[in-house]
Structure 1
């Protein structure tokens, strides 16, 4: 008599929101709507910088530290370069670098988190202490150490920030993987012969999508801030390529003569980081049914 093995029971449905429904939940929250507007405006400014910028961002003129006017809508910096053009191209630099950094850090961190959380044992014993070591260093200090060791430049800046942000994703995904791998439906899936790879992609990874999305958004905000900080210290994107951090640094020496070279990039950094943080907080509430409706 052959005994039939019952198929693995279906797991509880993962809390998912369709694209339109998720957007509705975010826009229904006024704070979330503000974050969406800020992110969209800054993204469009970065994408269409060559079309929106009235001048070449590196072109110098004799209008040093000129105040806002019809010729220079946001004024000019210490070299007579148009601040509006440099701010638009600075947005492109900051957002591009941050997006590349968070994408690479996210992929590596998710893979490490899945391996550590699902397989546990030796893999977790190796990966988790490595992440703890990286977490033990202040973020900016660790980024400074990597850039200082390899030298300033865009490539080294990206490498430094990727190393800094990998543990953020690894820890979040590891926690979800540990929890999901102990669920009865995962045990049943193992019993009926599903491979570990299939279990990870069918059960574990889908349950990690929501925390990954939130972590991606909030890490983008932090990456913009750290990129600007390293640029301010002269260790980020190198002149003459515009970046908000380097603009802020070069303008500080002329604050007694004109506030605009420092005020404009400083406000852009603040508003952009605020927008991504607001979007991240609202996204977290929208993806977690337990937090909906608290605001």
Structure 2
């Protein structure tokens, strides 16, 4: 199942406005060699995806008679079995993977955070419904659950996004639920209740800010897993449908021609590996710099 980042145990402090600013967090990440590498990979990959229409040398769907051409010449990274430029298709495939993954993680994170807050803060009937439901979903392997949803509804981008949202909701819900249960018992929350603060105000002022660190780490690592699962479903023909380029479908179509040319499979495979590596390195460093007990170990 999707790896989750458990909340930091132990007493927590009330959130104050002097929290880490974005610039301070960025300095902590760049001071870490691993984090800096991950950040560079993520930034470059995002920029390449965003600027794909400007930097792609060819239309990713334009075919030619140079089928399975090796790297060099007219095609920097070679051509696929239909004579399409692999560099252009890889750049547009990055747009597909990042767009789908970002939509999935934002939607799943929003729903999961809301469910976690309700279950952890209010407990009772809500917790008795939400927690067993997420536990049941955790009992299914991630790819198998996504595959079942897409197979039931049919291939396509919308169904792919729906399947991945369902898969990633439990991780966010469990993280926020644990933090909410811990912070709810803190003296400053009880003091807020004593002076008449509403539950909504308590959640927004105390519970949610204390959940920002684990949510941020889970968000980053979930992007890596979303890219991997999106590519896996694309490889099986259940993801984004042709002619729209995606790394998974490129890998699938290239495997039939491995004996003639390895490049149609190597290019998307390397792209998937680099993307997942970048987000995992960044998520690992975020965990270290946002946890005071691990920060001393983050200069690697």
Under a length normalisation based on structure 1, what TM-score does the superposition of the two structures give?
0.95
Counterpart of 1:73 in structure 2 is: 76
Counterpart of 1:23 in structure 2 is: 26
Match of 1:207 among 185, 210, 228: 210
1:16, CA displacement in angstroms?
3.2
Counterpart of 1:226 in structure 2 is: 229
Residue pair 1:151, 1:235 contacting (<8 A) in 2 also: yes
The root-mean-square deviation of aligned C-alpha atoms, in Å, is: 1.2
Residue pair 1:110, 1:173 contacting (<8 A) in 2 also: yes
Residue pair 1:14, 1:206 contacting (<8 A) in 2 also: no
Q: Distance in 2 between matches of 1:182 and 1:289?
A: 21
Alignment of 1:163-182 (within 5 A): 163-182=166-185
Residue pair 2:15, 2:210 contacting (<8 A) in 1 also: no
Unaligned runs of 5+ in 2: 1-12
Q: Is residue 2:105 matched to residue 1:102?
A: yes
Alignment of 1:92-241 (within 5 A): 92-241=95-244
Unaligned runs of 5+ in 1: 1-9
Residue pair 1:72, 1:84 contacting (<8 A) in 2 also: yes
1:12, CA displacement in angstroms?
6.2
Residue pair 1:181, 1:187 contacting (<8 A) in 2 also: yes
Q: Secondary structure of the residue that 1:289 maps to in structure 2?
A: coil
Counterpart of 1:51 in structure 2 is: 54
TM superposition outliers: structure 1 runs of 4+ over 3 Å: 10-16
1:18, CA displacement in angstroms?
1.0
Over 3 Å counting, the alpha-carbon distance change for 1:15 and 1:204 in structure 2 is: farther
Counterpart of 1:64 in structure 2 is: 67
Under a length normalisation based on structure 2, what TM-score does the superposition of the two structures give?
0.94
1:265, CA displacement in angstroms?
0.2
Over 3 Å counting, the alpha-carbon distance change for 1:128 and 1:15 in structure 2 is: farther
Listed one character per residue, the Cα deviations across residues 90-130 of structure 1 (whole Å, up to 9, x for unaligned) are: 00000000000000000000000000000011110000001
Over 3 Å counting, the alpha-carbon distance change for 1:15 and 1:139 in structure 2 is: farther
Match of 1:260 among 259, 263, 269: 263
Q: Secondary structure of the residue that 1:94 maps to in structure 2?
A: helix
Q: Distance in 1 between matches of 2:15 and 2:38?
A: 32
Over 3 Å counting, the alpha-carbon distance change for 1:129 and 1:118 in structure 2 is: same
Larger Rg: 1
1:70, CA displacement in angstroms?
2.8
Listed one character per residue, the Cα deviations across residues 40-98 of structure 1 (whole Å, up to 9, x for unaligned) are: 11000100000011111001110000001131000000000000000000000000000
